[in-house]
Structure 1
Amino acid sequence: MRGPFDQDKPIYMQVREKIEDQIIKYQLKEGEQAPSTNQLVNFYKINHATVSKGVNQLVDEGILYKKRGIGMFVAAGAREKLIQKQKESFMEDYVVKLVYEADKLGFTQNDIIQFIKNVKGRDTK
């Protein structure tokens, strides 16, 4: 989970996103214990309230759940919820903007499809 924090985004959101990424990448599986807020505080050397805010959002959304006195765990269906949420976000953040810009520049639907095929066909290693 290491990595510097981006200055342009609240730290609690970045902590939350790191946990979400671990779930999506199967590094944290359903039913497994997630890092505690104390572990995250010590690992990142950040304020407890900051970590708690990100973790509590995941609890509120049913991605994590608390077992009193034991810790946080990944909820059943958490990965699917996160993937669906990220797909919707991808659509809004990228596809809608792409289509809007393409329309503005006079590209056709076929042009856009060809652009995507060209990018997908590149050797990105």
Structure 2
Amino acid sequence: MTENLWNYQPTAGHLAGTDLTGYKVEATDGSIGKVDKHSDEVGDAYLVVDTGVWIFGKEVLLPARTVVKIDPEERKIFVDRAKEQIKNAPEFHRDDHLGDAGYREALGTYYGTGAPFGGRPA
């Protein structure tokens, strides 16, 4: 199941209502960009990350479950995926995919149980 993928891990330090816009996002092997938009709605939480020049200015959508730690003092968010995993995720287009259930399902499959690169259970 992928529905838990859209909720923050209880140990991540997420506080509902906190504005994460502008926070730097760190993969397991380095920085991937900054949060451009986020949702902390229960069952539909995510980060939209502007990758800047890292992958040619593309945005990526990360399910909240990928967040392992939020450091409000440093304004950093740490995720449990490597840069290559994030780069190879299903392509994200904000206008087409933000409210698209089919895209969310594809992303859930990619990041969830049995996902490429040893994805972790949701």
Q: What TM-score, normalized to structure 1?
A: 0.29
Q: Which one has a larger percent helix, Structure 1 or Structure 2?
A: 1
Larger Rg: 1
The higher relative CO (CA closer than 8 Å, separation ≥ 6) is in: 2
Q: Which one has a larger percent strand, Structure 1 or Structure 2?
A: 2
